[in-house]
Amino acid sequence: MEATRAAEASTFTPSFFDCHRHSPGEGGLYVLEEPWKQRPEKQFFTVGFHPWQLEEADFYARKARFRELVTAPNCLAVSECGLDRLRGPKEALQVEALSWQLQVAQEQGIPAVLHVVRGQDLLQAVWKSVGVPPFCVWHGCTLPPRRVEALLAYPFLGFSFGEALLRQPYLEESLRLIPEDRIFFETDASALPISRIYEKAAMVLDRAPIELNALTIANWNLRTSRPIL
């Protein structure tokens, strides 16, 4: 009995909290692949209209399905959503889709994980139009220190670092600038184990990886109505 319970729990409790991953493996918040045919029954997942896959007719047709998924108790975030000036449909549709998704995230009391490529000005306008935005995580953070500093003015924004942290020395400084209650880590589409990212961040922040893991889980749980175990 005990063993069964532990085994069940292990599918929910990641060794290291991965706030954004595209492969459905064990642990972390996995992004349900579009067109969201099946809802994972037990596993935590996230759902969002990625700007790369956004199309006008499709967006309106799939809103109801999105709502259905996002209200599931094991759907932990609207992810990923965002703005991309280099790829994706026209700006107006991207803005409309993001605004709507942020409103739904706010209603559901769950965070939104953002993909932002050359769209910071638009994002700020969307936040303003939404009024009270949900907690947002800037995923795949490759922001230089001066841009991180400017974005810290938004108290509802966290930052998630992935594989780039191992390759780009300037990101170490960006990471050090962020108050620790707004830090997250992710693998995104990388095959690198999430533990490698925690190990690197632990070196940068002079902390133990396990302490950082407890920190990111606490950070997440603080910002959601659907805490992870």
The residue number with the shortest CB distance to Zn ion is 188
Q: Which stretch binds Zn ion (CB under 5 A): 37-45, 102-110, 143-151, 187-195?
A: 187-195
Q: How far is the CB of 188 from Zn ion (least distance, A)?
A: 4
Least distance CB 158 / Zn ion (angstroms): 15
Q: Rg of the chain's alpha carbons, rounded to an integer? A: 17
Identity of the residue, 146 or 160, whose beta carbon is nearer to Zn ion in the bound complex: 160
Q: Smallest gap, in angstroms, from Cβ of residue 86 to Zn ion?
A: 15
* Minimum distance from residue 55 beta carbon to Zn ion (Å): 19
Strands 30-31 and 112-117: unpaired
Smaller CB separation from Zn ion, 196 or 207: 196
Choice between 18 and 188, CB closer to Zn ion:
188
Q: How far is the CB of 31 from Zn ion (least distance, A)?
A: 6
Is 52 or 156 the residue whose CB approaches Zn ion more closely? 52
First and final CA of the chain: distance in angstroms? 19
Q: Which stretch binds Zn ion (CB under 5 A): 36-44, 151-159, 180-188, 219-227?
A: 180-188
CB of 210 to Zn ion, least distance (A): 25
Task: Report d(CA 19, CA 226) in Å as an integer.
Answer: 14
Of the ranges 67-75, 126-134, 143-151, 185-193, which one interacts with Zn ion (CB under 5 A)?
185-193
The set of long-range contacts for 163-172, using a CB threshold of 8 Å and a minimum separation of 24, is 163/187, 163/188, 163/190, 163/192, 163/197, 164/140, 165/197, 165/200, 165/201, 165/204, 166/192, 166/196, 166/197, 166/200, 168/142, 170/144, 170/145, 171/141, 171/142, 172/204
Footprint of Zn ion on 78-107 (CB under 5 A): 80
The one among 188, 213, 216, 223 contacting Zn ion by CB under 5 A: 188
C-alpha to C-alpha distances, 215 to 40, 209, 222, nearest whole angstrom: 27, 10, 10
**Judged by CB under 5 A, which stretch of 77-85, 103-111, 125-133, 202-210 contacts Zn ion?**
77-85
* Size, binding site for Zn ion by CB under 5 A: 2
Residues 11-70 that bind Zn ion (CB under 5 A): none
Q: How far is the CB of 19 from Zn ion (least distance, A)?
A: 11
Residues lying near Zn ion in the complex (CB under 5 A): 80, 188
